[in-house]
A and B are shown apart, each in its own frame.
Chain A
């Protein structure tokens, strides 16, 4: 099993450009999440999904969009990149989102907006 796979690993964007961060998992997990990690701030939830066709906002959704057309894929879209979106982005998944479940994380995408 590959687990949770994120692409690309690194990306530099110019202000105003758009891009999609890809995330796919092969564990048949229903729940998927997008987090951003900023130094000293821990991880902040951007969006999450409880199943194909269902998405919801997390703590910091502004400037981002997501879709969930399949169980496996959960792409994150940045429409107009801003310097404040410079961060490390992690995708994660879990089976059913139960309180005691662990999350499986991808290896992250380091994004710089200049």
Chain B
């Protein structure tokens, strides 16, 4: 069984400030981890993914995430928030032997000018 927990359903940041979205997972096998972003009235888009090649993963729009096995975490960060980063972000996990994604509850990011 696998699960994902995202700490904080809403995060508010000022433009130019650090964005930090937390994701913890559980998986009985080495996991494949993903961050998806959903802009208003749109479907989800892949932001980045971890597939065991490197623990620090860089994605689109300046986002990156670090896989920490000891903490079972895959937190998403961006050094400087932009107004266009306002969206909902989902962490997801997939076990190596499975083909179905398990999503976290999502974190909605509000960027204040």
Q: Are A90 and B100 in contact, with the CB atoms below 8 A?
A: no
Known A42-B103, A42-B105, A45-B100; contact A102-B46, beta-carbon cutoff 8 A: yes
Q: Are A40 and B9 in contact, with the CB atoms below 8 A?
A: yes
Q: Are B43 and A4 in contact, with the CB atoms below 8 A?
A: yes
Known A31-B99, A41-B105, A99-B99; contact A105-B44, beta-carbon cutoff 8 A: yes
Q: Are B106 and A40 in contact, with the CB atoms below 8 A?
A: yes
Residues of A within 8 A of B90 (CB): 42-43
Q: Which of A47-76 contact B (CB under 8 A)?
A: 48, 50, 58
- Interface size in chain A (residues, C-beta < 8 A): 25
Output the nearest chain A residue to B105 by Cβ-Cβ distance: A42
Known A40-B106, A43-B103; contact A99-B44, beta-carbon cutoff 8 A: no
Q: Which of B1-44 contact A (CB under 8 A)?
A: 4, 6, 9, 32, 34, 41-44
Known A41-B105, A58-B100, A98-B99; contact A106-B32, beta-carbon cutoff 8 A: no
Output the nearest chain A residue to B91 by Cβ-Cβ distance: A42
Q: Give the interface of A toward B (CB within 8 A).
A: 4, 31, 33, 35, 40-45, 48, 50, 58, 90, 92, 97-100, 102-103, 105-108
Q: Give the interface of B toward A (CB within 8 A).
A: 4, 6, 9, 32, 34, 41-46, 49, 51, 90, 94-101, 103-106
Query: Can you list 29 A-B contacts (CB < 8 A)?
Result: A33-B100, A35-B103, A40-B9, A41-B105, A42-B4, A42-B6, A42-B103, A42-B106, A43-B90, A43-B103, A44-B103, A45-B101, A48-B100, A90-B43, A90-B44, A92-B43, A97-B99, A98-B99, A99-B51, A99-B96, A99-B98, A99-B99, A100-B32, A100-B51, A102-B46, A103-B46, A105-B44, A108-B41, A108-B42
